[in-house]
């Protein structure tokens, strides 16, 4: 009959077991080394994605990449569903992983680009020096590959400390996400954390983005012959010009709101006083109250007319909402900065002037989900012929996703 262990021996055995468990947890340097080893595979995936034209609405290319993404997610162990992104072309791809923890994560990015058919043939993927180039290489196929290979690293580590890990790839961000904004919003509300993988232009994560609205101005006048009877007309173009001058200062620099008139149309023939004139303005904002303020100010100002007997209407159409500054995003950025510091790198929290799908994921006034944008690879030249990513950022950014999930799942 074995002798019972003395209390000291039992305590020592327990300490040894605890030490072994602690030792089994990978260090930040371990995670970074694994990410560095994964970089070559990341670049192979990125090349295959960039080598297919997936401009928004390009059905053949979007279908080809969609099928590949479904295949990749299934190979990683996800349950995969696809949902048509009507009225857009292509599918929303949703992959779900189940774990053993208590926190829910969502990783999302788009796989469409702004480039039309034939662009890849003219500018194929290439690596020159410390950069990789190609259409959509940063925005946002670099983010697509980032998600896939972060998942691969977690799989290799046999990490399942999350409750649910959801991946969403959508096909229409570059045209406003008309067919994906609903599913983004619905899925986001079921998760504790949402990471969006747009590319930053430096080592940064984004805690706020702009919303995008459109203002539409319409003036109705009366037509007449411009040569023989101009006085009988009511010139809608002249009134439109007057209104645009009145409405040019709707923005508010202190709140970061901009309103710029960018489109105008009037008349059909040079010898006819125009009876109809229209204009549109681009509005960018981060303060959620600014939509109502701009709409009210515009309607009030437009009541002052220059041309009698004309009718002016101005309407505000809401588009992509902002990711407004909030405590949840700031807390995520702080955690990300701390984790990045453990591999001797600095990560800056920033606000972006343009809008992203993170705005659809954010729920104003709610602590859930906490949303963090620009978790993708560092790059620049977006939408241009010289779009590129910084190769030196690949492994650290892979590390960041893996480290964030492991940390927040605790």
CB neighbours of residue 29 within 10 Å: 12
Question: Hey, which residues does 389 pair with through a beta bridge?
Answer: 132, 379
In SS3 terms, the chain reads as CCCCCCHHHHHHHHHHHHHHHHHHCCCHHHHHHHHHHHHHHHHHHHHHHHCCCCECCCHHHHHHHHHHHHHHHHHCCCEEEEEECCCCCCEEEEEEEECCCCCEEEEEEECCECCCCCHHHHCCCEEECCEEECCCCCCCHHHHHHHHHHHHHHHHCCCCCCCEEEEEEECCHHHCCCCCHHHHHHHHCCCCEEEECCCCCCCEEEEEECEEEEEEEEEECECCECCCCHHHCECHHHHHHHHHHHCCCCCEHHHCEEEEEEEEEECCCCCECCCEEEEEEEEEECCCCHHHHHHHHHHHHCCCCCCCCCEEEEEEEECCCCECCCHHHHHHHHHHHHHHHCCCCCCEEEECCCCCCHHHHCCCCCCCCEEEECCCCCEECCCCCCCEEEHHHHHHHHHHHHHHHHHHCC
CA atoms of 196 and 147, how far apart (whole Å): 10
C-alpha pair distances (Å), 189 with each of 178, 182, 185, 332, 370: 18, 11, 6, 17, 10
Would you name the residues annotated as active-site residues? 112, 173
CA atoms of 351 and 348, how far apart (whole Å): 10
Tell me whether strands 276-285 and 348-351 are parallel, antiparallel or unpaired: unpaired
């Amino acid at each position: 009959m074995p002798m019972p262990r003395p209390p000291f021996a039992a305590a020592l055995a327990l300490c040894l077991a605890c030490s072994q468990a602690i030792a089994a947890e990978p260090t930040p340097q371990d995670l970074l080394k694994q990410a560095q080893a994964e970089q070559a595979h990341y670049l192979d995936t990125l090349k295959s994605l960039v080598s297919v034209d997936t401009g928004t609405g390009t059905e053949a290319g979007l279908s080809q990449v969609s099928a590949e993404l479904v295949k990749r997610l299934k190979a990683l162990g996800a349950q995969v569903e696809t949902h048509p992104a009507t009225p857009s072309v292509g599918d929303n791809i949703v992959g779900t992983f189940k774990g053993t923890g208590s926190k829910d994560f969502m990783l999302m990015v788009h796989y469409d680009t702004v480039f039309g058919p034939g662009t890849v043939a003219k500018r194929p993927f290439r690596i020159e020096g410390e950069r990789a180039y190609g259409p959509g290489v940063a925005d946002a196929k670099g983010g697509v590959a980032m998600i896939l290979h972060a998942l691969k690293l977690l799989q290799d580590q046999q990490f399942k400390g999350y409750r649910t890990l959801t991946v969403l790839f959508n096909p229409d961000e570059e045209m406003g996400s008309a067919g994906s904004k609903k599913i983004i919003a619905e899925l986001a509300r079921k998760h504790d954390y949402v990471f969006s993988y747009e590319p930053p232009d430096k080592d940064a994560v984004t805690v706020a983005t702009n919303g995008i609205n459109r203002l539409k101005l319409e003036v109705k006048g009366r037509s007449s012959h411009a040569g023989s009877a101009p006085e009988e007309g009511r010139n809608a173009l002249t009134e439109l010009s007057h209104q645009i001058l009145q409405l040019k200062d709707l923005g508010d620099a202190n709140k970061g709101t901009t309103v710029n008139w960018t489109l105008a149309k009037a008349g059909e023939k040079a010898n006819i006083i125009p009876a109809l004139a229209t204009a549109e303005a681009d509005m960018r904002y981060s303060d959620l109250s600014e939509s109502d303020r701009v709409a009210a100010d515009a309607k009030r100002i437009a009541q002052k007319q220059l041309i009698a007997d004309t009718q002016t209407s101005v309407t505000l159409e809401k588009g992509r909402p902002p990711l407004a500054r909030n405590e949840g995003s700031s807390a995520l950025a702080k955690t990300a900065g701390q984790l990045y510091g453990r591999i001797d790198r600095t990560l800056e929290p920033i606000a972006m002037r343009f809008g992203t799908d993170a705005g659809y994921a954010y729920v104003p006034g709610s602590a859930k989900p906490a949303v963090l944008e620009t978790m993708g690879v560092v790059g620049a030249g977006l939408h241009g012929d010289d779009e590129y990513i910084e190769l030196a950022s690949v492994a650290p950014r892979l590390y960041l996703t893996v480290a964030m999930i492991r940390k927040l799942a605790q």
